[in-house]
């Protein structure tokens, strides 16, 4: 049987270890579908193209290997773009392959012809149009390598359908994985950075989204353990006000030196300006894309792969004396601390339920090893504040919502042995609730816990804050029975209004071994906000 361009794509994916395509079918990608037949490359076909990218995003974050989404041209490609932005901001290795109008008809008004590369470029590390059927394997290998290297992120390749259908004679060619780029000679800036940190009274390491995961976070922890300098991840859309940080956020104004490990000095850090950080606070930056010279608030800049740079710093740090253990313990204790009134809220029997009472019901599942996926506005922030999990995915710095259910499916593929618990708001559920159908078809059980306050509550709270109660508008939802949608699709549904029924409902959802929705009526209270005094409400 003659080989086609689509065969080269599948062969390159398999050679790179890819085993799942997250996809929604369409005219221009059917040759790739055909090429997967009889090969160990499964297609998880979704109900919306954005969901395919969210699944690939979850896979990329959890495995540190690129998740691959495959969508069709034109509208299909455009549907995927918002999810690409989420992956970009979360620094997640994702490859989006989009079908494209035939190259032979370029510029003639072909069906669904558009500048897909131009549309994708602002939300990717790299984007290009494949131009040679014989080199499609190289296109795939390059996309995968760019997605995982340096600062991880999404990459897009548009695939003209006539190239996919073209007969090819060349063997499947793909570049082998590159070794991480060696850092430049950092002896000078690294020495300066270590000297700054050693002299500091209250130094801190802040890790960017990619550096807060698995292998990269291990490099952060090694330096932290050796020096006693506390380390915190910055991966929330609320940045340094991430409720998961608890009272540790109140320590930032006292910090005198900050080591940014793969983290930009951006909105999440309030650009390093007062009052978030003291005026005299100094910054050290390690980044694969750092400027060659320091500038602005950054006093020392080091380019290179952050985990490698941190390991070199740890080796050199052993030659110095470090006196930051007590400070480190203070910050770690603040991160774990919660206000005294939270315990009573976790046990409260009032209705509608406080979000912390819902968290109290979920926490035992996480203690047993369940993966936590969190998304949504105020309820999502309460979940981030009130739940602790060994493995956690949140919607990330983009501030977008809607990804929880598809990301939970990607998490289940990455960790098939673990229970998956998705915690999301009712507004969030509306984006991709029908991916429960995907879960059923793909045999991927999960428990989705919906905090239902019948409101776009994050926006409602902003309206209250900025305009007053008499000028709230456009935020009301219905107290909808999302649990019944799960049941109608063939899954399991629970509706909970009374706290006394919550634990049993969660238990039945887990035991169903089906995609389950536990729809919980909650009190629409504002998310916790820590103040300089250390109080939270």
DSSP assignments along 256-269, one per residue: SEEEEES--SSGGG
Question: Contact at 8 Å (CB) between 408 and 420?
Answer: yes
Q: Where are the alpha helices (DSSP H) in 64-186?
A: 75-89, 116-120, 136-148, 161-165
503-523 b/e (C-beta count within 10 Å ≥ 16 → b): eebbeebbebebbbbbbbbbb
pTM: 0.94
Measure CA of the first residue to CA of the last residue in the chain; give whole Å.
67
Supply the DSSP symbol for 337: -
Residue 295 pLDDT: 67
Residue 110 pLDDT: 85
For the chain, residues with pLDDT lower than 50 are 176-177, 179-183, 532-537
Which residues of 24-165 form beta strands (DSSP E)?
A: 42-45, 67-71, 94-100, 126-129, 154-160
- Residue 28 burial by CB count (10 A; 0-12/13-18/19+): exposed, middle or buried? buried
Question: Contact at 8 Å (CB) between 245 and 234?
Answer: no
- For 173-184, write each residue's pLDDT tens digit: 555 445 444 445
CA distance 100 to 161: 6
Domains of the chain: 5-165 (3.40.50.970), 187-336 (3.40.50.1220), 341-521 (3.40.50.970)
């Amino acid at each position: 049987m003659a080989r086609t361009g689509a065969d080269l794509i599948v062969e390159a994916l398999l050679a790179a270890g890819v085993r799942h395509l997250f996809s929604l079918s369409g005219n221009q990608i059917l040759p790739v579908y055909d090429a997967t037949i009889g090969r160990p490359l499964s297609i998880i076909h979704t109900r919306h193209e954005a969901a395919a990218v969210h699944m690939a995003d979850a896979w990329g974050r959890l495995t540190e290997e690129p998740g691959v989404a495959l969508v069709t041209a034109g509208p299909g490609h455009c549907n995927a773009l918002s999810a690409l932005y989420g992956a970009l901001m979360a620094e997640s290795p994702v490859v989006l392959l989009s079908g494209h109008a035939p190259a032979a008809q370029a510029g003639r008004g072909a069906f669904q012809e558009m500048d897909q590369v131009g549309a994708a470029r602002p939300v990717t590390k790299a984007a290009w149009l494949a131009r040679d059927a014989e080199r499609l394997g190289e296109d795939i290998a390059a996309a995968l390598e760019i997605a995982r290297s340096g600062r991880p992120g999404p990459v897009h390749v548009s695939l003209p359908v006539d190239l996919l259908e073209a007969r090819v004679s060349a063997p499947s060619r793909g570049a082998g994985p590159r070794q991480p780029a060696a850092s430049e000679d950092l002896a000078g800036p690294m020495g300066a950075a270590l000297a700054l940190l050693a002299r500091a009274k209250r130094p801190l390491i802040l890790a960017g989204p990619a550096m807060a995961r698995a292998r990269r976070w291990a490099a952060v922890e090694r330096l932290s353990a050796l020096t006693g300098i506390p380390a915190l991840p910055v991966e929330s859309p609320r940045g340094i006000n991430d409720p998961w940080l608890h009272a540790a956020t109140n320590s930032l104004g006292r910090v005198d030196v900050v080591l940014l490990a793969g983290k930009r000095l951006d909105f999440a850090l309030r650009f390093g300006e007062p009052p978030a950080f003291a005026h005299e606070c100094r910054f050290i930056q390690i980044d694969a894309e750092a400027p060659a010279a320091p500038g602005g608030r950054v006093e020392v800049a080091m380019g290179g792969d952050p985990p490698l740079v941190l390991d070199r710093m740890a080796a050199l740090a052993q030659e110095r004396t470090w006196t930051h253990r007590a400070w480190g313990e203070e910050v770690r204790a603040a991160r774990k601390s919660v206000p005294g009134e939270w315990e009573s809220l976790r046990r409260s029997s009032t209705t509608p339920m406080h979000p912390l009472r819902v968290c109290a019901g979920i926490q035992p599942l996480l203690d047993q090893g369940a993966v936590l996926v969190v998304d949504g506005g105020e309820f999502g922030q309460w979940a981030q504040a009130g739940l602790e999990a060994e493995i956690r995915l949140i919607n990330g710095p983009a501030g977008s919502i809607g990804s929880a259910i598809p990301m939970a499916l990607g998490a289940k593929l990455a960790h098939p042995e673990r229970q998956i618990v998705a915690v999301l708001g009712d507004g969030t559920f509306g984006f991709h609730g029908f991916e429960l159908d995907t879960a059923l078809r793909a045999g991927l059980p999960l428990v989705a816990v919906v905090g239902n306050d019948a409101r776009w509550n994050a926006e409602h709270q902003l309206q209250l804050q900025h305009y007053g109660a008499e000028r709230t508008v456009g935020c009301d939802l219905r107290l909808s029975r999302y649990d019944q949608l799960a049941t109608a699709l063939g899954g399991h549904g629970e509706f909970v209004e009374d706290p006394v029924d919550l634990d049993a409902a969660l238990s039945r959802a887990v035991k169903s071994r089906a995609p389950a929705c536990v729809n919980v009526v909650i009190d629409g209270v504002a998310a916790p906000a820590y103040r300089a005094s250390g109080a939270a409400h």
